[in-house]
Amino acid sequence: MKIIFIRHGKTRGNLEKRYIGRTDEPLCAEGIDGIRRTYPVSDIVICSPMKRCRETAEIIYPDRKAVIYSGLRECDFGDFEGKNYTELSKDRDYRDWLDSRGEMPFPHGESRRDFAKRCTDAFMQAVCEIKCGTAAFIVHGGTIMAILEKYAVPKKSFYDYQTENGCGFITEFDGKNIRITEEIT
């Protein structure tokens, strides 16, 4: 099965380098302009419920109704939500989280392990329900990173799969492994 992973277009929070997880931000003007280009054709569109993903899906695939999977939403950043590095740099919890290389749970938020399990479970649910050849997943950067960390071969770490807004990967999924065939830049 061919799967296209696309990170949503930019939001104001992305421009300000904020941790935006559960905040339901729309795309900003720059984000809309950044995705007004040609993307690979898809038979079905799978989407996070967050506004930034739904708007991205509507712009890229206006002739497809997105199928929403709530498990594909971005991580809950807890106390760090809506803040950026500068605002958090003196916060002891934030420094501890950085020292853990992102392995500690966000204070009052999700752990990376719980987040990854939620995303990969939703991904598998979606692909098991798909009855077509090509599916586009319009989701969050962290969601793509979690899915590829678990399924992509050769194996790489979570942070090796970072992608910019409006970018992503074209892949082949055989039910067990994902092979990246092309990057969308």
Residue 31 domain flag? yes
Residue 87 domain flag? no
Q: What integer pLDDT is reported at residue 37 of this predicted model?
A: 96
Cβ–Cβ contacts within 10 Å for residue 151, how many? 21
Residue 56 domain flag? yes
Question: Is 0.85 topped by the overall pTM?
Answer: yes
pLDDT for 140-179, tens place per residue?
999 999 999 999 999 999 999 999 999 999 999 999 999 9
CATH number at residue 152: 3.40.50.1240
Residue 21 domain flag? yes
Are 181 and 171 a contacting pair, CB within 8 Å? yes
Domain count, the chain: 1
Range of the domain at 12: 2-77+110-184
Cα–Cα distance, 176 to 32 (Å, whole number): 34
Beta-ladder partners of 138: 6, 47
Residue 166 domain flag? yes
Residue 93 domain flag? no
Q: Which residue has the tokens 């399924």?
A: 151
Cα–Cα distance, 11 to 137 (Å, whole number): 18
pLDDT for 8-34, tens place per residue?
999 999 999 999 999 999 999 999 999
Q: What's the Cα-to-Cα distance from 120 to each of 17, 42, 45, 58, 144, rounded to whole Å? A: 25, 21, 17, 24, 9
pLDDT for 66-120, tens place per residue?
999 999 999 999 999 999 999 999 999 999 999 998 889 999 999 999 999 999 9
Cβ–Cβ contacts within 10 Å for residue 141, how many? 20
Residue 50 domain flag? yes
